Structures are given as structure tokens and as C-alpha cells.
Structure 1
């Protein structure tokens, strides 16, 4: 309690200094001018992001993905956030494809789709879902409306002459506070990363709808488990090589068993980038030890190149170029 009181006292003292001293007033003035300049530069923008990736998946499956709540699972990131949004949705009966959410967000969309004949069959050659979002600070909109963002984003794909598909996410325009714009751009980077991981995964477009839903709900965990699978393969190869050499494999087999057990858990993992350095961050200490042990065993038997290859594969799946990055297992 005394720590909280001390903190409040210091905050109050700092606040008084900001509004009663020349230095404080100059600081507030500088912050105000700087913020105003940032708002002029970044508060209104067109074409504020564009991301794309290539795929060979069925275009009809991609259309279904973007046209249903499947994409919302990735767009919303957190399951509880998606449920909250859906619980507050009210469809506009007067305007087509328009809705409000908790009386603070307005969402509308239109879909453009074009087909062409390929080998005597009609296939979707172009698809675009154009969504407009207008969001205000919740709860106070009716009293004091404060705009968070007014933006339009496009999600879709275009078929190429060779049959491949280019999936594109495009920020058409943004109007709102400049800090929010940067958050929206960060969110867009996650969305394209997660969408690519999902669409280019082996289960996308299959009949296993339950497995697809589970994957969409936690894309980083899915990527991490793919990494564990590749690590298992490397560990199995190292065990076979050690047995042929007459070396004991007790510790290696224990690491292999731990990897299999770890795949069945819900560890939280993230890949972080700081400048040119990339770091694999795992919040589970036991998971860290299992991975470190496996990498050490693989390095001892197969050499350090095998360890580097395993880490590079994870970084590649995470959207980074391994050759540009410095890797570390924890």
C-alpha cells in the first residue's frame, strides 16, 4: 500500500511540475507540437500497407475462407475478442452488407468476384473483399464521440497465367490518430503472416474442419509444433547414426520422448525481431530445456550445421529470412 501511495505522490509531483514550471511547460509544448506534426504526416493516408504471398491452393477454398467467419478468427487474433465482437453485432436491415458492433463500430463490405474459363471449366480468377471500418471509443460515443479509425482494407487474390494465386491484403486508406495507424499496420503484418501460414498449410481446403479451426485459433502454436516435428525427425536420424557408431542413445531417446510430449501441450511461443537479430521466445521453462537438450544432442551427433538448419526452418516459417538473422534457441 505504501508503494502505491509513494507512486501516486511522485506522479502528482511530476504532474504539478509539468504545468507550473518553465521546463515542464516547454516539455508539454514540445510534445504537443510533435504530436500535431505526426498527426499531419500520418493521420491521413492512402495505400498505407500492402502485403502479398503466393499459393497454389484451390481458389474456391480461399473464397470460402475470406467470405466466412474463418478469416475473422485470424483477423481477431484472440478468441475472446472474436466472441465479444460477434455478441455485439447488429445487422443493418436497410443497408446491404452493413452492421454495427456495440454501437461503437460500423462495418460494411462489398465483394468483387470474376471467373474465367480454364480448360473448359469456370474458375475464380479474381476475388476481393473490400471492408470499411469506422470505430469510436466505446461507451462514450453518444456523449462525446472520439474517432479511433476510419479505414478501408481489401482482402483477396488474383489468379496468374501459370495457375498460381497471389493473395493480397491492401490498406486503401486510413483516417484517425497517428498512433492507431501504426498499431493497425502492425496488426496487418500479423494477419498476412498468419493467413499465409494457414492457407499454405497441408490441412487447408481439406474436409477436416475441426483441425482447421483449431489451427486458425492459434497460428503461432501451429508453427511451433511444426518446428518440433522437424526437430523430432532430426533427433531420430541422430539416434540411428549414434547406434551405428555404437554410442549410447539413452539421453537422446529421452529427448525424443520429451519432444513428443511437448507437441501435445499448449506452450506459448513467439518469434521476436530486434533490428537484424531474431530470437525464439518460449515462456515455458520446461519447453526451453527440452528444445535446448534436443539441439545439443543433434549438434553433438550431426554437427552444428544440423542445429542451424533446424532453427533456420523455424525462422523461415515465421516469415524471416534466416540468412539475415542471428539465431538463438531461447
Structure 2
């Protein structure tokens, strides 16, 4: 795997994305494109654990700055949250600024600037090293800054990062809006370099799929799919079961016609448990393995332990179909997603 995190906040929930620090502060509907219903609003430090420690990372994100800049807005952090390197924004010039550490040592800055209150897509390539570091920035797929052979290692002993962090503050001028966030390492053969200008589209549930085994809880809408179709999510109705391996599958709406290049699919679940017994949830997908636009093969993802009374989001990143074949628009439109009790 190379894609370690992706979020467009299309669930309409502040709890999605930056799970390490409890989600984001608010959501906006004033987004950067037709595919996006929501963007995240950042008013404090928000952090996402990436699951692995690596010395080379790529990140892509749409960002809209407001009136005041900060020296360290986006950062890759070591295991103890020490910022190895960070990107700041100079509000006076609009320049993006490269730093070692948490704004401690300026390494360089872009010649061009981003004005306030404009959406732009920023990509960042970082290699962490005290002698052979790389710090590159692209804006709207144009290279704005390329630094090589620089010191990008702030931590005393670690030459890796495992957190991605964005910073905002309580005053509106120091708050940021972000969307279409992806973070990648270089482990695999796909999604292992510049992500390019990325759109994350949310496909919502529209009908029951091929399996309907879970029970309806809360307000009964009359069908399982309509218990889980709210945007943002509602706790007033839901599906549930206490029987291991019972599952539901749901049909999704089709992709927007303008979006054709599928780099990955991210399935999100939101779940909790209601008593002290052991319980987990798993993503289940049914996909088209024959190329005939008919889902025919199921795949169950890893188990995620649940917490009593705490709704949490869980993601399953799929850079290819579970059988290893590439995603296409037709295959995504045939996909059924759901949940399995474990």
C-alpha cells in the first residue's frame, strides 16, 4: 500500500478525518468544486496517524487561507509529534515557506504566492534527512519550490515521520479550510509519487444491495439502506446485530460523469457497540471481478474493535479491487459496500 490516508469529509461529519485528534472543528459547504459537498474548517491542531513510519512522503490537499499566516501549518511529525518539517504561509506575500521543524529554521520559499480566500491545490514532497533531504512544493500541479540536499530532520534520533498535522487557531484569520486530502508513501507501484490535483467524491447509499441481514434500530424508515443514508450521519436510525458474520450490502450512486481516473476507493463505516461484551465491525465489499458491471465477489476487510457508546469512523483504503485488478469508473459504479458484525 502506498496511499495511507484520504479524506474529503463527504460524510458531512466533523468526526471524519484527523481521527488521532478527534476530527475537525467544523465543515463548510463553500467548497472548491462540484464533486465536493463539504470541506473541513481547522481552528486548532489536528493530527492523523499514518500507520507507518517512513522517511519519504507525499501529501496533496486543497487549501484556502484566511487573513493571517503561520510559520508551521502543515507538518510531518515523528513518533513523539516532533515536527520534522513543515509548510507555512506568509500572509504578506502569499508565499509558501519551507521549514525544518515547527517553523524553527526556514529552508526556502516559493517565488509565487497564494492570495487569501482562494482555493488552491498544494502538493508536498518530503524526504527526511539531515544531509540529503528533499523539500518540494507544487501548486495546481506546477512546481513552485524544489530544495535538495537540505536538512529536513528535526528529531534528535528519528529520521522518519508517522503523523500528518495541520494547525489552526481560534482567531478566524488564522483558521484554514482544507479538502481532498491524500497522504502517500513510496512503498508500492501505484499512488507512490505526486498525487496530482485530486478530487474526492462521496458516493452515498441509494438502495439495498444483495445481502440484507442486519436489523433496523431507532426510527424505522422501512428499509435497511435508508437507515444509513443520512448526510451528515444521524443516530436516530441505524442497523444492528449481535450475531457474528451477519452483514448488509448497499448500492451506491454513480460517480460524477466528469470524473474518470480512479486512483483508489475509500470505504467508511461509522459504528459503536452498546454493551461491555467484545464486538468488532468490518467493511464488506462486493465487486465486479469479470468486467461485466455486475458485482459477483465479496471481500471482508480487517476487524475494528468497537467502543461502548462512542460512534467512530473506520476507513478501508483500496488502491485496487480486492482481486488486484485496477479500478475503473464502471467497476466503481457496480460496487456494493456494507458492514459485517464480527
Structure index of larger Rg: 1
What TM-score do the two structures reach when normalised by structure 2? 0.27
More helix by share: 1
Larger RCO: 1 or 2 (CA < 8 Å, sep 6+): 2
What TM-score do the two structures reach when normalised by structure 1? 0.28
